[in-house]
């Protein structure tokens, strides 16, 4: 009997799951110049494995609104689709258009048209599997970490072909070869090895005035240059067009501060750090502009008063700062103001005065709302100021905040303690004022204060219990002998009645013959109790 043998052959197709780093984004053209971005953008994928990888059905996205499913089917209407298999060890280029006549001459394998676009500044290119595994990502920043030049693709140095290093801008450089219509890049080809870069980096530059001298002696300044990445087996030549070189040596110290000192104010300098004479590749040039140092004796503006009035218009309309010029000032904008809120320390300069000229002795009112200040000080009081400037929200003290005056960004005078909340302190000026009675004095010397809340309920400063001292000379004009009366005078009843044509609340101060104040009261019923005064006053 003849035996029959059947051979059963089972063929199974095994699909291997992809892991991060199997595909790596290795080149990005986000800003072509040979053609418009809508036609010429592209990026490149490299397969690091020994097997072909098909990305059909994968997602191309960024961290914003771009979210596109890759589909190998070529759509004759939209022009999307194309090759989706990344060959083992090879490359696949995805871009806006398959047509080399419009895409700048790039050999695009797969076209996504306007379903995905890359920003010319910072953006992301992310590739995700159908199983939501993020295979490759690049978060480029448009500089300074990632290279950023229009018309030139940025490429991953081929020594960093993995999913960790490809998102580090320091591992990318600009392409050097041209393609198609003249832009630079190597789409679909191995990337070129990036040229070496200088490891020395400038972390910060601080410019400091190191002497401020009166008279004809020039001020000097220093430049402090913090660096990292030194001590790289080459010798650096550090030079400056002026000043003395000191501080740390990048030839022998990895991190440090180079100091260039004794530079004459007004002299701009150039500082160089160069190791090319010793076979290195670092050549760093720093152009330094001279600061405006402040000579002693040239501070020509000082505080005169701080106002936190409660004005009828409400809100912050009653906030103002009063300064006075002690010499002619050609440009007031070299000065500025800062308010230190709630004792939390200096906030630095927050307001810069307008670029106007002022004369010696000019009184300047810096007001949140000038119209409200005119109403509260009255037009006559308001007009005593030579210049009125509007600060809007740049001054926002709350009656318990320190105030700072700056010249050329340097602190020159302080009212109050910027590190202490003034609530309950002797210098609190809530709903009141502080006034420098002695010109040239430094706080706290020479300052006087209205009492806290003394402007509450008043219509003008003259109807408050604390007339602002600068306009107090006008208060004599508020009343005449026939506009108010006091009776009986003298009195033996223990009280006097005061009537006035002004129906507002009255503040009455009584002085003895020696000029000493013996009584200070606010009247709402026209009756002043004097029973506690000595006979004969």
Give a three-class secondary structure readout of 114-142: HHCCCCCCCEEEEEECCCCCEEEEEEECC
Give the span between the Cα atoms of 353 and 362, in whole angstroms.
14
Residue in 517, 520, 526, 382 with CA at minimum distance from that of residue 451: 520
The 3-class SS string of 146-173 reads CCCCCCECEEECHHHCCCCHHHCHHHEE
State pLDDT tens for residues 76-120: 999 999 999 999 999 999 999 999 999 999 999 999 999 999 999
Reading the block at residue 71, the tokens are 């589909």
Q: Residue 408: which pLDDT band, with cuts at 50, 70 and 90? A: confident
Out of 63-72, 423-432, 483-492, least confident range:
483-492
Q: For residue range 434-458, list pLDDT tens digits in order.
A: 999 998 888 999 999 999 999 999 9
DSSP code of residue 489:
S
C-alpha distances out from residue 136 to 110, 126, 163, 238, 245, Å: 17, 6, 6, 42, 47
Q: Are 329 and 358 in contact (CB under 8 A)?
A: yes
Q: Tell me the two tokens of residue 528.
A: 């002043």
Query: What does the pLDDT read at residue 295?
Result: 56
- Is the confidence at residue 157, as pLDDT, over 90? yes
Q: How far apart are CA 529 and CA 415, in angstroms?
A: 39
Q: What is the pLDDT of residues 238-251, one digit of tens each?
A: 999 999 999 999 99
The neighbour count for residue 187, using CB atoms within 10 Å, is 25
Q: Cα torsion at 345, 350, 354, 359 (round to 10°)?
A: 0
Output phi, psi for 177, to 5 deg. Answer: -105, 150
Q: Comparing C-alpha atoms, which of 420, 444, 408, 465 is closest to residue 306?
A: 444
- % the chain with pLDDT above 90: 66
pLDDT for the residue numbered 484: 62
Computed over every residue of the chain, the mean pLDDT equals 87
pLDDT at residue 269, rounded to an integer = 96
């Amino acid at each position: 009997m003849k035996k029959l043998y059947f051979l059963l052959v089972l063929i199974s197709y095994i699909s291997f799951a992809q892991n991060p780093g199997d595909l790596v984004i290795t080149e990005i053209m986000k800003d072509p110049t040979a053609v418009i971005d809508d036609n010429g953008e592209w990026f490149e994928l490299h397969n690091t494995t020994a097997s072909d990888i098909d990305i059909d059905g994968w997602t191309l996205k960024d961290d914003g609104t771009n979210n596109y499913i890759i589909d190998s089917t070529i759509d004759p209407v939209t022009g999307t689709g194309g090759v989706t298999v990344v060959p083992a060890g090879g490359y696949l280029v995805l871009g806006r258009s398959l047509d080399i006549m419009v895409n700048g001459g790039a050999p695009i394998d797969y076209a996504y048209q306007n379903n995905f676009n890359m920003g010319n500044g910072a953006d992301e290119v992310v590739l995700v599997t159908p199983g939501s595994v993020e295979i490759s990502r690049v978060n480029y920043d448009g500089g300074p970490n990632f290279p950023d030049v229009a018309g030139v693709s940025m490429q991953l140095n081929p020594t960093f072909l993995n999913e960790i290093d490809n998102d580090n801008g320091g591992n990318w450089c600009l392409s050097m070869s041209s393609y198609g219509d003249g832009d630079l890049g190597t789409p679909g080809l191995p990337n070129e090895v990036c040229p070496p870069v200088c490891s020395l980096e400038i972390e910060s530059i601080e410019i400091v005035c190191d002497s401020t001298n009166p008279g004809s002696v020039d001020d000097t300044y220093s430049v402090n240059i913090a660096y990292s990445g030194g001590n790289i087996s080459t010798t650096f030549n550090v030079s400056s067009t002026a000043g003395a070189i000191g501080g740390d040596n990048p030839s022998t110290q990895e991190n440090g501060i180079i100091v260039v000192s004794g530079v004459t104010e007004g002299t701009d300098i150039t500082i160089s750090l160069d190791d090319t004479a010793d076979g290195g590749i670092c050549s760093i040039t720093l152009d330094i502009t001279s600061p405006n140092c402040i000579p002693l004796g040239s501070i020509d503006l000082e505080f005169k008063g701080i106002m936190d009035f409660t004005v009828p218009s409400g809100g912050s309309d009653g906030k103002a700062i009063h300064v006075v010029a002690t010499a002619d000032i050609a440009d007031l904008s070299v000065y500025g103001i800062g308010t230190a809120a709630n004792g939390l320390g200096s906030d630095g300069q927050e307001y810069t005065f307008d670029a106007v000229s002022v004369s010696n002795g000019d009184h300047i009112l810096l007001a949140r709302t000038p119209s409200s200040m005119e109403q509260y000080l009255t037009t006559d009081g308001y007009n005593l100021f030579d210049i009125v400037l509007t600060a809007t929200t740049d001054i926002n003290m709350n009656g318990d905040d320190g105030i700072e005056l700056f010249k050329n960004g340097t602190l020159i005078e302080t009212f109050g303690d910027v590190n202490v909340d003034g609530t309950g302190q002797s210098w609190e000026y809530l709903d009141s004022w502080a006034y420098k009675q002695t010109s040239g004095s430094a706080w706290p010397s020479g300052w006087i204060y209205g009492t806290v809340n003394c402007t509450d309920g008043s219509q003008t400063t003259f109807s408050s219990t604390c007339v602002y001292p600068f306009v107090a000379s006008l208060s004599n004009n508020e009343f005449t002998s026939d506009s108010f009366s006091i009776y009986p005078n003298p009195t033996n009843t223990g009280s006097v009645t005061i009537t006035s044509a002004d129906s507002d609340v009255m503040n009455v101060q009584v002085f003895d013959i020696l000029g000493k104040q013996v009584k200070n009261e606010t009247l709402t019923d026209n009756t002043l109790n004097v029973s506690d005064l000595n006979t004969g006053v």
